[in-house]
Amino acid sequence: MDNMTFGKYIPMNSIIHRLDPRLKIVTLFIFLISVFFDAGFIGYGILGIYVLMCALLSKIKLSHILKAIKPMLFMMLFLMFFNIFLLKTGDLLLVLGPVKIYSGAILQSAYIFIRLVLIITLTTIMTSSTKPLELTLAIESLLSPLKKVHFPVHELAMMISIALRFIPDLLDEAKRIMKAQASRGVDFNEGTFTEKIKSIISLIIPLFISAFQRAEDLANAMESRNYNPEARRTRYQILTWNLSDTVALAVTLLVCFVVIVMSFLI
C-alpha cells in the first residue's frame, strides 16, 4: 500500500509543473490518439523522444516512473502473450508443434508494449506534475461549453474533486484499520482461503462505515454552509494561459501531426 505511486502528485518546481492543467489534459488526449497510429519504429521513436523530453523537463525521477510501470507489467505480458500466439499476419517464422509464430505477431506485440509504456509514462508525468485540484479545475473549464446544453459541469467537477480529495484519506484509513486488525492477530498476507476472506471482511466493513460517516459529515458541513451548485462563485485559483503553454501545444501538435502523416505514408 506504500508503493502507490501511480497518480500521486510530487511537488516540484519545473516547466511541466507550471504548465496550464488544461493544456496537459488536451496534450495527453492528443497523444493518446496519435500513439495508436502505426508509424513504424521511427514514429514510435519520435513519440518516445517527445515523452522523454517531457520526463526530463518535469524533473521527475526515472525510478518513480518505473515504479508506476511495474504494476502494469503483468497486463503487458498477458497481452503480448496472446498477440504472439494468436495473430497470423506476416511471414511464418517458427513452428512449435501446433503453435505457429508469425513475424507480424512479434511486431504487433512489440508495438503494444511500446504503446503501453509510452501511455503510462506520460500519464504518470501528468498526474505527478499536476495537483488533483488543478486537474478538476481544468476539467471544469474544458467542459464548460457543455453548460449551454444544461450538462451539470460544476456538479461533475465537484464530485470528481471530492472523490480525489478523499482517496488519500481512505488509503490512510485502510492502513490504520489493517494495522488495528493485525494487532488482533489478522494476517493479511498468509492463511487459507476462508481466513483470507475473513481478514478482508475485517478491513472492508470498518472502511465502509467510516467512508459513509465521512460522506455524511461532509454533506452536513456543506449544507450548513448553504452550498448551492448553481450559485455564482469566484475562484481562488484562476487558470492562466501563458506563452509556454502555446509553445507546448504547438510542439505536441507538430509531433502528433508528423506521426499521423507518417502512418498514412507507410
Partner 1 sequence: MSITFENVSHVYGVDTPFEFHALKNVQLNIKNHSFTAIIGQTGSGKSTLIQHINALLLPTQGSIKIDDYLISVTNKPEKLKQLRQKAGLVFQFPEYQLFEETIEKDIMFGPLNFGKTEQEAKEIARSMIKIVGLDESYLDKSPFDLSGGQKRRVAIAGILAMNPDILILDEPTAGLDPQGTKDMMNLFKSIHESGKTIIIVTHDMNHVLEYCDDVIVMNHGEVERHDTVTQIFQDSEYLNQLGIDLPMMTRFILDLNEQGYHIDPSINCIEDLIEAIGGEING
Residues that bind partner 1 (CB under 8 A): 2, 10-12, 63-64, 173, 176-177, 179-187, 201-202, 205-206, 209-210
The 3-state DSSP composition of the chain as helix, strand, coil percent (nearest 5) reads: 75, 5, 25
| Paired sense of beta strands 92-96 and 99-102, if any | antiparallel
- The sign of the dihedral angle between the CA atoms of 206, 207, 212, 217 is positive
- Backbone angles phi and psi of 59, in degrees to 5: 60, 20
CB of 183 to partner 1, least distance (A): 4
Closest approach, Cβ 219 to partner 1, in A, equals 20
Closer Cβ to partner 1, 190 or 230, answer by number: 190
Q: Give the side-chain half-sphere CA count within 13 A for 16.
A: 28
Nearer to partner 1 (CB atom), residue 3 or residue 234: 3
Asked if residues 122 and 53 have their Cβ atoms less than 8 Å apart, the reply is no
Q: Which is nearer to partner 1, 145 or 168 (CB)?
A: 168
Long-range contacts of 81-87, Cβ-Cβ distance < 8 Å, separation of 24 or more: 83/108, 83/109, 83/112, 84/109
- The rounded radius of gyration (Å) of the Cα atoms in the chain is 23
Question: In terms of CB distance, is 52 or 200 closer to partner 1?
Answer: 200
C-alpha distances out from residue 64 to 10, 126, 256, Å: 10, 13, 26
- By C-beta, is 66 or 247 nearer to partner 1? 66
What is the C-alpha separation between 154 and 233, in angstroms, rounded?
Answer: 11
Q: What is the closest distance, in whole angstroms, from the C-beta atom of residue 196 to partner 1 in the complex? A: 13
**Shortest distance in whole angstroms from residue 214 CB to partner 1:** 12
State in angstroms the smallest separation of the CB of 179 from partner 1.
Answer: 5
**Residue 71 C-beta: closest distance to partner 1, Å:** 16
Q: Which is nearer to partner 1, 49 or 205 (CB)?
A: 205
> Is the torsion defined by CA of 171, 177, 182, 183 positive or negative?
positive
